Structure 1
């Protein structure tokens, strides 16, 4: 199985949910301070949340179908932030799934779709687990 990305235990691949589009939005936080007779000043407060959106199409005869989407939703319903890792080894951090949009097209007489368009949205959660791992690693290295 050629995996393009992993979210927790769920692999994104041709046989599960292959995505055609990947969009990442990074925000930055600023506090706005009012000033008399001048435009407001902005103070940098730090990095905001990253949001990642994956879009793709499922053809149940070739790729995953409704059962794969349902399996993905089971992991989403746990409400836990999981690491999002590309097959290249790039770690994006820990993310939660905030939404899944499915559009079923070309329905058979039994209501089974021949095509499912999907959009999955992830939002970065605090990387406390990664931060704790970094602290522990630093402490262990200092002991050696």
Structure 2
């Protein structure tokens, strides 16, 4: 039996047990320009959205529940510079956030055992919405070639 999946970043599924998350924050930024007007407050003109950023936070217990391989895969995708599709929610209320680039991954490994392996790994994945063209290469291309 597979674990319920509540969110996915490209091929990396965030599950209830294993590679999971316990927090998500989002920041949507827009730009306004001030237009000087005599003898009253400046008028404002909306210039449009400038960024849509997401931070995913979680804690892995690799020895007990796994998940480290998926986080390592996210890091590899970040190093490859691939935009990935980001989706969340459940079957009743799913949300497609669109393509995102991985801006950074932070790990905080602790409770190191005698073999030097971390038994706990707190992480943050920072994403930014991507509006450019997406090529079917790397991880995404591999998945598409399997389906095609």
Q: Distance in 2 between matches of 1:30 and 1:80?
A: 30
Once the two structures are superposed, the pairs formed by residues 49-64 of structure 1 within 5 Å of their partners are 49-64=51-66
Matched, 1:102 2:107: yes
**Structure 2, unpaired ranges of 5+:** 135-148
Q: Distance in 1 between matches of 2:113 and 2:67?
A: 14
- Relative to the length of structure 2, the TM-score reads 0.75
**Structure 1 pair 5/53, CA: closer, same or farther in 2 (3 Å)?**
same
Match of 1:79 in 2: 81
Match of 2:27 in 1: 25
Moved more, 68-77 or 109-118: 68-77
- Report deviation, 1:110: 2.2
SS in 2 for 1:102: strand
Match of 1:93 in 2: 98
- Report deviation, 1:15: 4.7
Match of 1:45 in 2: 47
Q: Distance in 1 between matches of 2:31 and 2:76?
A: 33
- Relative to the length of structure 1, the TM-score reads 0.77
Q: Distance in 1 between matches of 2:15 and 2:132?
A: 25
In the alignment of these two chains, the number of paired residues is: 129
SS in 2 for 1:70: helix
RMSD after superposition: 2.1
1:72-117 Cα deviation digits (max 9, x unpaired): 2122222121210114221011101101110011111222111100
SS in 2 for 1:111: coil
